[in-house]
Amino acid sequence: MPRILIVEDEPPISNLIRLSLTKAGHRCDCAFDGARAADMAVETPYDLILLDVMIPEIDGFELMEYLKPFGVPVIFLTAAAALDNRVKGLRMGAEDYIVKPFEIDELLARVDVVLRRYGKADGVIEVCGLMIDTRAMRVMRGQEELALTRKEYDLFVLFAQNPNVALYRDVIYERVWGGDLGAGSKTVDLHVQRLRKKTGLDACLQAVSKVGYRLVLP
């Protein structure tokens, strides 16, 4: 499962990118300044970095120079649309340069192109005897496709990407429904119940008292 670092100092944009990539089957971490991003890139073997140019502490171009020895592909994602900036980024070795504002579908397509180029785009998650095809957005048991709704699918992907991790209800709601939990606690519980029934994961998808749920793998 590809792991991507999003380096973007505007939380709404960072959150939108993270949610979209997560739903597409990627694991994502976020950094909001260049110094933190540098530390995270040293600590974690990322498959791809989405890098804004105009970020605090260390700008994107400086960070790109620092990251070169790690061999991690980089896509610049920035409002700096001037030709000299695009040329500079590409000459430094970036795989692509996407100018804001952008369409999410275009971003996902370009991310897939780079991951395929580096042999990192498998698009398949296998968990508890089921196969999640994140490209086709479907869940299979052998040759049988499970009839999941979009939210049930998104919920299952979230659990599959965080195995053996207890996820709080508010985190689940924010990741799948994109908002504050508020009165949505029952929504999470009902969707988990339906997901258990359709997938047969009663034993694997466990409730965690006063927290939420956890997908337990053997």
- Output phi, psi for 78, to 5 deg: -155, 160
List phi, psi (to 5°) of 36. -65, -40
- Sequence letter at residue 143: Q
| Segment 78-112, tens digit of pLDDT | 886 677 777 888 888 888 989 888 888 889 888 98
User: 3-117 with 124-215: one CATH topology?
Assistant: no
pLDDT of the residue at 143: 87
Estimate to the nearest angstrom the gap between the alpha carbon of 155 and the chain centroid.
13
The CA-CA-CA angle for residues 90, 96, 99, to 5°, reads: 100
Considering only CA atoms, give the Rg of the chain: 19
Transcribe 33-49 into DSSP letters. SHHHHHHHHHHS--SEE
Q: State whether CATH 3.40.50.2300 applies to domain 3-117.
A: yes
| pTM of this structure | 0.59
**∠ CA 213-217-218, rounded to 5°:** 140
Whether the per-residue pLDDT at 144 is higher than 80: the answer is: yes
What is the average pLDDT value for the chain, to the nearest integer?
A: 87
Q: What is the DSSP string of 120-163?
A: ----EEEETTEEEETTTTEEEETTEEP---HHHHHHHHHHHHST
Burial readout 202-215 (b: 16 or more C-beta within 10 A, e: otherwise): eebbeeeeeebbbb
- The class (CATH top level) of 124-215 is mainly alpha
> Do 213 and 159 contact (CB within 8 A), yes or no?
yes
Segments making up each domain of the chain, as ranges: 3-117, 124-215
Residue 119, classified by CB atoms within 10 Å of its CB into exposed (0-12), middle (13-18) or buried (19+), is exposed
**pLDDT digits 0-9 by tens, 169-190:** 888 888 888 777 666 568 999 9
Cα distances from 112 to residues 75, 98, 107, 213, 214, in angstroms, run 11, 14, 9, 30, 29
pLDDT digits (tens, 9 = 90+) for 112-135: 888 877 766 666 777 888 888 877
Q: Are the C-beta atoms of residues 19 and 30 closer than 8 Å to each other? A: no
